[in-house]
């Protein structure tokens, strides 16, 4: 199959790919997604094939506005509308009870479905043109860092999808926040562009799923099957070094071996001369760190590094999402730098 790259004016053509049961790379504000008609189980099955994704890892249904929620969900609590009002279109996925018309292929057989209205206007226009909800996970090969620009998505999906729409680089850079509204209190399953603090301001107390901050033990059942998989990982092993930038830099300099790579806050780049270094943004700029984190992880796959050391922001605000992606890339191999 030849993969076409469509510019963002080609809304009708992109919608037609979806309607015909094809696979379409879609730009969103979070990361690039790998979309198909969410009501067509055969098309959805092709997403799993193209990514090499385990069958039990459910997808998110993307809709152009909150008034599509009733088509696919039931027993929708008022909090869903309050959150949609405040954060949609935007990087928030709500887990709700599904209606039977949502195929098992999308939900991996769960009786719930993840729903999101993305902020990228081109993708909303494509979904509206297609007239179907778009099932999509991130557009990477399963296990690899998510793509945040069209070149990264092509690297994984060239020849495997019908087309990718180039909507420019992603403005958020990490996947959507996932909030399970079928539990009381609501539970954060994945931190993302909408922060825990922002959610709590709208719905009150939110529980944080254990899998966000630590590796589940073999005998622990994750809330969603996808939460158990190794994720976002470059080929070389990663060690996350927690602590403020200066302390982490000292720790890394002490432990760094020849040929090791470093992901660090911009201020510390000169300390690692002679090593492959990826700046992740200034220490105080978590939004830039979120935009950069996947590209930084991806970069090392083109280098012969044998180990990657990564600085890590504090786990508050957007830092919770950035730290979660780094920790998962490291398989939760985390050390604490002393003061
Ligand atoms: P991705 O954005 O590539 O990580 O793929 C979609 C994510 O949404 C996966 O991590 C799933 O675990 C999560 N997800 C989708 N549907 C559900 C659901 N019904 N319950 C819990 N998590 C879900
Ligand atoms: Mg993904």
List helix spans (H) across the chain: 11-19, 41-51, 69-72, 78-87, 104-107, 121-130, 150-157, 196-203, 210-213, 245-255, 286-299, 319-329
β-pairing, 187-190 vs 177-180, is: antiparallel
Whether the CB-CB separation of 96 and 102 falls below 8 Å is answered with no
How high is the pLDDT of residue 223?
77
CB 139 within 8 A of CB 160: no
Supply the pLDDT for residue 339: 67
Is any ligand 1 atom within 6 A of the Cβ of residue 178?
Answer: yes
Per-residue model confidence (pLDDT) at position 225? 67
| Interval between CA 261 and ligand 1 midpoint (Å) | 31
C-alpha angle 22-8-172 in degrees, rounded to nearest 5: 95
Q: Ligand 1 pocket: which of 116, 118, 177, 178 to mutate (most atoms <8 Å of CB)?
A: 178
Structure confidence at residue 216 (pLDDT): 81
- Cβ(118) – ligand 1 distance below 6 Å: no
Atom 7, ligand 1: which residue's CA is nearest?
A: 59
CATH of 4-212, one of 3.90.870.10, 3.40.50.300, 3.50.50.60, 3.40.710.10: 3.90.870.10
Distance 59 CA to ligand 1 centre (A): 5
Query: Is 238-336 in the same CATH topology as 4-212?
Result: no
| DSSP code for 338 | -
95 lines ligand 1 (CB under 6 A): yes
The answer, yes or no, to whether any atom of ligand 1 lies below 6 A from the CB of 150, is: no
**Cα 224 to ligand 1 centre (Å):** 7
Architecture of the structural domain at 238-336: 3-Layer(aba) Sandwich (3.40)
> Domain residues of the chain, as ranges?
4-212, 238-336
Ligand 2 centre distance from Cα of residue 33 (Å): 8
Q: What is the pLDDT of residue 218?
A: 76
Rounded distance between C-alpha atoms, residue 109 and residue 291, angstroms: 33
Per-residue tens of pLDDT for the chain, all 339 residues: 899 999 999 999 999 999 999 999 999 999 999 999 999 999 999 999 999 999 989 999 999 999 999 999 999 999 999 999 999 999 999 999 999 999 999 999 999 999 999 999 999 999 999 999 999 999 999 989 999 999 999 999 999 999 999 999 999 999 999 999 999 999 999 999 999 999 999 999 999 999 998 888 877 877 776 676 667 888 999 999 999 999 999 999 999 999 999 999 999 999 999 999 999 999 999 999 999 999 999 999 999 999 999 999 999 999 999 999 999 999 999 999 986
**What is 180-248 written as a DSSP string?**
ETTSSS-EEEE--SS-HHHHHHHHS--EE-HHHHSPPPTTPPPSSGGGGS--S--SS-EEEEES-HHHH
| Residues, CB within 5 angstroms of ligand 2 (ion) | 137-138
Peptide bond into 89 cis (omega under 30): yes
Q: How far is the CA of 297 from the centre of ligand 2 (A)?
A: 14
């Amino acid at each position: 199959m030849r993969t076409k790259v469509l510019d963002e004016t080609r809304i009708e053509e992109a919608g037609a790919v979806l309607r015909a049961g094809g696979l379409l790379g879609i730009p969103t504000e979070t990361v690039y997604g790998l979309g198909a008609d969410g009501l067509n189980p055969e098309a959805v099955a092709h997403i799993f094939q193209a990514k090499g994704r385990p069958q039990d890892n459910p997808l998110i249904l993307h809709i152009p506005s909150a008034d599509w929620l009733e088509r696919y969900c039931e027993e929708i609590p008022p909090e869903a509308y309050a959150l949609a009002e405040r954060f949609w279109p935007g990087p928030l996925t709500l887990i709700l009870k599904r209606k039977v018309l949502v195929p098992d292929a999308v939900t991996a057989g769960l009786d719930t479905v993840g729903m999101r209205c993305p902020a990228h206007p081109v993708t909303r226009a494509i979904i509206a043109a297609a007239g179907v909800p778009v099932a999509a996970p991130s557009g990477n090969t399963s296990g690899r860092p998510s793509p945040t620009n069209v070149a990264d998505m092509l690297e994984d999906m060239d020849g495997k999808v019908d087309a990718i729409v180039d909507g420019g680089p992603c403005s958020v850079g990490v996947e959507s926040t996932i909030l399970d509204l079928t539990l009381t209190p609501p539970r954060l399953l994945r931190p993302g562009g909408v922060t825990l603090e922002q959610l709590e301001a709208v719905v009150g107390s939110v529980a944080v799923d254990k899998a966000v901050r630590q590796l589940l033990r073999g005998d622990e059942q994750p809330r969603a099957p996808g939460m158990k998989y190794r994720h976002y990982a470059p080929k070389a092993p990663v060690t996350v070094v927690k602590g403020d930038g200066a302390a982490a830099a000292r720790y890394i300099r002490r432990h760094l071996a020849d040929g090791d790579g470093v992901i660090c806050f911009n201020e510390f780049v000169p300390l690692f001369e002679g090593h492959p270094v990826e700046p992740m943004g200034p220490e105080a700029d978590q939004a830039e760190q979120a935009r950069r984190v996947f590209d930084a992880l991806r970069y090392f796959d083109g280098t012969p590094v044998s180990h990657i050391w990564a600085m890590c922001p504090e786990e508050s605000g957007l830092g919770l999402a950035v730290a979660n992606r780094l920790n998962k890339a490291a398989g939760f191999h985390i050390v604490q730098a002393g003061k």
